[in-house]
Amino acid sequence: MQQLRGKYTLCVIQRRIQLKICNIRLKSWNIVFFGSDDFSLGHLSELLNERKNGVIKNIEVVTASSENILYKFSSSKSIKVHLWPPDLKGNYDIGVVASFGKLIPEHLINLFPLGIINVHPSILPRWRGPMPIVHALKNGDAVTGITIQKIKPKIFDVGDQIMKRTCEIGENELLPALYKKLTKFGSECLVKVVRELPESLDNCVPLGNDNATYAKKLNKSISTVRWSELTGVEIFNLYRALFGLNDLRTSWKGETVKILCLSFNNSDENFGPPGSLKFLPKCNVLLVNSIDKPVRICTVLFRAKVYGAHNFFRGFVQQYNTKEWSFDDGIS
């Protein structure tokens, strides 16, 4: 009889523990989301979908401007929006950051029992900083990914790692495509972390500083092609990194030429000094030399008009009856 009572008591205790764990796992979370742009919006949208299945109870948004896309979207969805710096008053559980761009002070972090987590579009500690996607392309990286980490006050991108996932970068992939891919990939990773709260925070590991690199903001002058300093593949990677953000530029006889479409074919042979150009009729491209291999230019913007390679060559280059033609090395 004593044995039966003991077994019964043990079963009751085990059942209570199981129910307690289930209650924790089934809790609906109150979240404050910090963001500013399209990358932020993609992550917020996925979190909003989690309200349907009870994972998230409520979301409020913090952003820096009433003019950005996140503010306008949130307002249209009747989501409470706080402008930075926020005066947060509520029973929040966790904060989520995706492309916010401002250091969050310790007193705000401490408002959240589970802290604040950050979605960063690189494999940290590689490309810490504000422009990781651009730098990954500019550097010619073959792999990038998503890191979800806890945030710390006073410095960006150093908090403990919660999740890390990699993805490949296509050799011809441009900034908008990679940006979109990482937005989708990051939002999937974020949803997984939120669904598995609070357990997903239990096994964080320090990031460390091995092979750390910094993705600094780029000056507009980076878009100027220095034909005598860059290889063909470096020019192509710069084009990929700045596509849709800032057109590559060169100059012809002192006038700015914006390069709208550029490609790289490793089989093309060097034919003259850096900046030298010639027209390939069969391919309808301008071939322009770098310090090693040439790049191919298909379309340019010159004097406020768009020209294909043939029309630009015939209208502005061929009129100079010389043996060699060359773009200026940078903007004069």
Each residue's pLDDT tens digit, 77-127: 999 999 999 999 999 999 999 999 999 999 999 999 999 999 999 999 999
pLDDT number for residue 270? 85
Question: 220-326, what's its fold?
Answer: Methionyl-tRNA Fmet Formyltransferase; Chain A, domain 2 (3.10.25)
At CA 116, angle to CA 106 and CA 184, rounded to 5?
145
E strands present in the chain: 29-35, 56-63, 81-83, 94-98, 116-120, 143-150, 161-168, 248-252, 255-264, 276-280, 285-288, 295-302, 305-308, 325-326
Over residues 240-252, the mean pLDDT reads 98
Strand-strand pairing, 255-264 and 295-302 = antiparallel
Q: Is the pTM of this model over 0.85?
A: yes
Fold classification of 28-201 is Rossmann fold (3.40.50)
List the chain domain ranges: 28-201, 220-326
C-alpha separations of 156 from 68, 102, 131, 281 in Å: 22, 9, 12, 51
Record the tokens describing residue 206, joined without a space.
């320090």
Q: How far is the C-alpha of 200 from the C-alpha of 219, rounded, in Å?
A: 38
